[in-house]
């Protein structure tokens, strides 16, 4: 459970302004009692009725006494907030747990809790807690949900104290808040091989001789778990301890996922827009490839690469797949349109060497972008493109899959350059397109070694 902060609720914040703060906390009931008491006192003075004067004074003094006692009472309440899960896919629910504890020696009165949440997560949750004994605790929870990815602040938590008569209420706020991360939806993908991807896309791991330096050639000391068949007896006799050979080391296959975020390439907005489909598709492929043991990199048209650890920017073998996936999901949760006009900056990153498998999610492309993508294809072992015609997504009604509308010179140039390019109709499931890409790639490999039609 995440600590939300140490509670305010101790009496006042100084003598200056104390009376004003206490009077500002009067409820409608308290103000009515005060007004009725003043009116009764004035009438008693004019009419000379001493009994009415006593009633008026009682009515006027009661809310003032309640406000003073509530303001001066030193309530100490501690609170915490827990979010489960910390990352939630768009359209799914998360539960927020609130825990209040009375750490003072006096019982509290009526407590009203209100947590501040953005309007996209739903209405502000409010809770009414009865008297909390000294050392007692109360736990409440509420659900939040967003169809839009992003990072949303939760809190600060507001605590409203009330006296037993309901004459006065004082509001105290916690200082801390939490952040809820709404990541793109991830669609499970079938474990196809995408036949014909000769470089970088195979069984998930390749093997190569460890010839990186002299240290790799010299046998190293035995470590617990090493295969005894690899013991180098000559070096063992020389050093007086078990030494093992360095023969082969696993090298992870690579996959780069290119996400086109150009504002000029997409039309429309909202959770059902073409851009959101592309972001969700990129997230699905990233998670799928990490689960298969690939070294994966997320690249955008701006040239930004995530994760940025290491010289090549890939999530290497030293990183846990879950950590790498979480880092990329956090990036995709807040990714937005860029002001780039083309894909040249992404090509500058890719032209440094062979990138293994390249999977691209593209918006509207013209001949210039297609030419840049054709150059990218030469730097990859295999290339797969999902091209979205955002205008066709606007024409088709929501929830009704439309026919593939992506065609033209740009798509022809991609296929001639060796890309497996698929047009994405509105509402098309990525899993079916993933299988279609495998079938097309298998046909190309059987017909001519992986070249485009």
- How high is the pLDDT of residue 354? 60
pLDDT at 193 over 70: yes
Q: Which residues pair with 384 in a beta bridge?
A: 359, 420
Those residues whose C-beta lies under 8 Å from the C-beta of residue 361, and which sit 6 or more positions away, are: 257, 258, 259, 260, 278, 279, 281, 282, 385, 386, 388
Return the pLDDT at 302: 92
Task: Fill in the DSSP letter of residue 165.
Answer: T
350-375 mean pLDDT: 86
d(C-alpha 142, C-alpha 140), whole Å: 7
> Per-residue pLDDT for 4 more than 90?
no
* Each residue's pLDDT tens digit, 200-234: 344 444 433 333 333 344 677 777 767 777 788 88
Report how far residue 446's alpha carbon sits from residue 442's, in angstroms, rounded to the nearest whole number: 6
| Residue corresponding to tokens 């995530």 | 306
d(C-alpha 339, C-alpha 9), whole Å: 48
Q: What is the pLDDT of residue 244?
A: 81
**Could you tell me which of 173, 215, 189 has the C-alpha nearest to residue 287?**
189
What is the band of 168 on the pLDDT scale with cuts at 50, 70, 90? confident
The burial class, CB within 10 Å (0-12 / 13-18 / 19+), for 118 is: middle
DSSP letters along 290-341, please?
A: HHTT-EEEEEETT--EES--SSS--B-TTS-HHHHHHHHHHHHHH---B--S
Provide φ and ψ at 38, rounded to 5°.
Answer: -65, -45
Cα–Cα distance, 40 to 34 (Å, whole number): 10
What is the largest distance, in Å, between two alpha-carbon atoms of the chain?
119
Instruction: Give the pLDDT of residue 321.
Output: 67
pLDDT value at residue 109: 76
Q: How many CB atoms lie within 10 A of CB 93?
A: 11
Q: Is the sign of the CA dihedral 34, 39, 41, 42 positive or negative?
A: positive
Between 298 and 234, residue with greater pLDDT: 298
Lowest-confidence region among 84-98, 112-126, 223-237, 264-278: 223-237
Lowest mean pLDDT among 74-78, 87-91, 296-300: 74-78
Mean pLDDT of the chain: 79
pLDDT at 16: 45
pLDDT score at 93: 93
Instruction: Name the band, by pLDDT with cuts 50, 70 and 90, for residue 151.
Output: very high
pLDDT average, residue stretch 421-430:
90
pLDDT score for 404: 46
What's the confidence (pLDDT) of residue 192?
A: 81
Tokens representing 435 are 């299988």
Cβ–Cβ under 8 Å, residues 335 and 279: yes
Residue written as tokens 């093997």?
A: 207
pLDDT at 11: 39
Categorize the per-residue pLDDT at 402 as very low, low, confident or very high, splitting at 50, 70 and 90.
very low
Task: Tell me which of 203-212, 219-228, 343-352, 380-389 is least confident.
Answer: 203-212
For residues 146 and 138, what is the distance between their CA atoms, to the nearest angstrom? 27
pLDDT of residue 315: 64
Provide the pLDDT for residue 282. Answer: 96
């Amino acid at each position: 459970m995440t600590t939300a902060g140490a509670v305010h609720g101790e009496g006042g914040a100084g003598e200056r302004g104390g009376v004003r703060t206490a009077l500002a906390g009067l409820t409608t009931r308290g103000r009515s009692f005060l007004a009725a008491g003043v009116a009764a006192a004035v009438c008693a003075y004019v009419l000379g009725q001493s009994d009415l004067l006593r009633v008026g004074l009682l009515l006027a003094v009661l809310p003032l006494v309640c406000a003073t006692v509530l303001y001066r009472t030193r309530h100490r309440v501690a609170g915490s907030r827990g979010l489960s899960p910390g990352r939630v896919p768009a359209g799914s629910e998360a539960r927020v747990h609130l825990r209040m504890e009375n750490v003072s020696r006096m019982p509290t009165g009526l407590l009203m809790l209100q947590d501040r949440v953005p309007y996209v997560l739903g209405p502000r949750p409010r809770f009414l807690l009865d008297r909390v004994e000294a050392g007692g605790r109360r736990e409440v929870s509420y659900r939040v949900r967003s169809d839009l990815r992003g990072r949303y602040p939760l809190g600060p938590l507001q605590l409203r104290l009330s006296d037993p008569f309901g004459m006065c209420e004082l509001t105290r706020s916690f200082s801390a808040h939490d952040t809820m991360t709404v990541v793109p939806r991830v669609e499970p993908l079938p474990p196809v091989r995408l036949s014909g991807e000769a470089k970088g896309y195979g069984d998930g791991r390749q093997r190569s001789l460890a010839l990186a330096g002299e240290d790799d050639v010299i046998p190293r000391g035995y470590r617990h778990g090493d295969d005894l068949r690899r013991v180098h007896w000559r070096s063992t006799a020389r050093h007086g301890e078990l030494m093992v050979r360095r023969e082969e080391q696993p090298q992870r296959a690579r996959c780069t996922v290119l996400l086109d975020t150009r504002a000029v390439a997409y039309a429309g907005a909202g959770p059902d827009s073409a851009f959101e489909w592309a972001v969700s598709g990129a997230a699905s492929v990233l998670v799928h490839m990490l689960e298969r043991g690939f070294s994966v990199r997320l690249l955008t048209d701006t040239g930004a690469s995530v994760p940025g650890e290491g010289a090549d920017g890939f999530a290497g073998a030293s990183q846990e797949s879950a950590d790498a996936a979480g880092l990329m999901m956090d990036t995709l949760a807040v990714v937005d349109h860029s002001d780039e006009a083309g894909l040249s900056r992404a090509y500058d990153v890719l032209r440094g060497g062979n990138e293994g498998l390249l999977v691209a999610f593209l918006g509207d492309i013209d001949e210039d972008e297609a030419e840049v993508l054709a150059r990218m294809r030469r730097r990859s072992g295999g290339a797969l493109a999902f091209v979205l015609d955002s205008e066709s997504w606007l024409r088709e009604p929501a929830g009704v899959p439309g026919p593939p509308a992506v065609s033209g010179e740009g798509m022809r140039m991609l296929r001639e350059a060796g890309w497996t390019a698929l047009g994405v109709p509105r509402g098309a499931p990525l899993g079916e397109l993933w299988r279609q890409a495998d079938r097309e790639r298998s046909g190309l490999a059987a017909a001519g070694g992986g070249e485009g039609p």
